[in-house]
Amino acid sequence: MFWSVVLILQSFVVLSDNTYDWKPSVSLTDDFDEPVGFCVDIVGWGSGMDCNSLQVHSCKASGDDTQFEYQSETKTLRSVNYNSNCDGDGSSSPNNKACVVIHGNVADGATLGLTECDDLSENQKFEVKESSGLSGSYELRAGSISTDLCLVVSDTTRIAGPHLARDLFIGVCSSTDTNLKTWAIAPSLTSTDTSSSTTPAPSSPSTDTSSSTTPSPSPPSTGTPPSSSSSLLYMTYTGIASTFCIFFRLFISIIE
pLDDT tens per residue across span 174-209: 999 999 999 999 987 765 566 544 333 333 333 333
Q: Strand ranges (DSSP E) for 173-238?
A: 183-186
**Cβ atoms < 10 Å from Cβ of 40:** 28
Distance (Å, rounded) from C-alpha 98 to C-alpha 51?
A: 9
Mean pLDDT on 111-115: 97
Higher pLDDT, 132 or 111: 111
Contacts of residue 89, Cβ cutoff 8 Å, sequence gap at least 6: 82, 83, 96
Q: For residue 244, name the pLDDT band (cuts at 50, 70, 90).
A: very low
Per-residue confidence (pLDDT) for residue 146, from 0 to 100: 77
Q: Report whether pLDDT(100) > 60.
A: yes
Q: For residue 252, name the pLDDT band (cuts at 50, 70, 90).
A: very low
Task: State whether residue 6 is helix, strand or coil.
Answer: helix
Residues above pLDDT 70, as percent of the chain: 63
Per-residue confidence (pLDDT) for residue 126, from 0 to 100: 96
Its pTM surpasses 0.85: no
Q: Strand ranges (DSSP E) for 61-122?
A: 68-71, 76-79, 99-102, 112-115
- Give the full edge-to-edge strand order of the sheet including 76-79: 68-71, 76-79, 99-102, 112-115
Per-position b or e across 123-141, b if 16+ CB within 10 A of its CB: bbbbbbbbbeebebbbbbb
Alpha-carbon distances, residue 151 vs 27, 88, 91, 243 (angstroms): 11, 25, 24, 31
Q: For residue 234, name the pLDDT band (cuts at 50, 70, 90).
A: very low
Q: Report whether pLDDT(213) > 90.
A: no
Mean pLDDT on 139-146: 87
Q: Read off the amino acid at residue 129.
A: K
Q: Are strands 76-79 and 183-186 parallel, antiparallel or unpaired?
A: unpaired
Per-residue confidence (pLDDT) for residue 49, from 0 to 100: 93
Distance (Å, rounded) from C-alpha 244 to C-alpha 10?
A: 9
Per-residue confidence (pLDDT) for residue 20, from 0 to 100: 87
Crossing angle (nearest 10°) for helices 229-255 and 2-12: 130
